[in-house]
Amino acid sequence: MTGKLIVFSGIDAAGKSTQIDLLVQRLRRNGLHPIVFWSRLGYTPGMTRLKWLLRKLAPSRIMPSAGESEQRDLAMARQSTRRWWLRLSILDLGWFYAVWLRAMRWLGYTVICDRYLVDSELDFKLNFPDQHMETWRSWKMLKWAAVRPSAAFMLLIPIEDSQQRSRQKEEPFPDSRQRLEQRLAGYRSCCATGDWCVLDGRGDIAELSDQIYQVAFQRQVAIREED
């Protein structure tokens, strides 16, 4: 039986992690064994291991320590460093989004993605606007080959709520208000395609959880009712 791919995206602190946890608990109660996969540009398991190795080999020249720093900014300011890092990141995303996810679905697993292509594309555009990544052949091939979600949820909240929740969670590297506004505009633009179930993250948590479950599994529910 082919599994499902359920995707969660949206602005920071909109409630994605909470809803993912609730969905996982619900699926486990129903006897399923969902897999949760978190990804972001340059932060998949493959890139994390590669960066660890590069920091061992050449920590100052190739890959500075994690987190925001002047050393990291100087390294990423180099055109050559920036381009090979971005291309490796695309290749790594391709492995997970086009190969690994497809294999997990073929094996019958329900995979829940915390962030997906749209989040990485926004990161590209905001962090490297001079690269015009959307025109790269490698990125176009990734978008073509990536597994299409069975259900995709976009959780949005106002900027003020996002900042307040981030402070309560003590996020180590919160986005500035300007960056949050850019992200929110990008997410809203994606919603116009009609491929997303858009949810207000300020709503009742339990009601949102029920809505997500019904949208993601309504076909299975209907089949069981017919049986």
Q: What is the pTM of this model?
A: 0.82
pLDDT in tens, 102-113: 999 999 999 999
Residue 76, pLDDT > 80, answer: no
- Identify the CATH homologous superfamily for domain 5-41+108-226: P-loop containing nucleotide triphosphate hydrolases (3.40.50.300)
Residue 199, pLDDT > 90, answer: yes
Residue 64, pLDDT > 60, answer: no
Inter-residue contact 190 to 118 (CB < 8 Å): yes
* Percent of all residues in the chain with a pLDDT value above 90, rounded to a whole number: 55
Inter-residue contact 175 to 181 (CB < 8 Å): no
Inter-residue contact 78 to 26 (CB < 8 Å): no
Structure tokens at 223: 């089949």
Phi-psi region for residue 11, left (φ > 0), alpha (ψ -120 to 50) or beta? Answer: beta
pLDDT band at 220 (very low <50, low <70, confident <90, very high): very low
Residue 171, pLDDT > 90, answer: no
Measured CA to CA, the distance from residue 6 to residue 210 in angstroms comes to 15
Residue 72, pLDDT > 80, answer: no
pLDDT band at 73 (very low <50, low <70, confident <90, very high): low
Residue 26, pLDDT > 80, answer: yes
Give the residues across from 44 on adjacent strands. Answer: none
pLDDT band at 70 (very low <50, low <70, confident <90, very high): low
pLDDT in tens, 115-142: 999 999 999 888 888 888 889 999 999 9
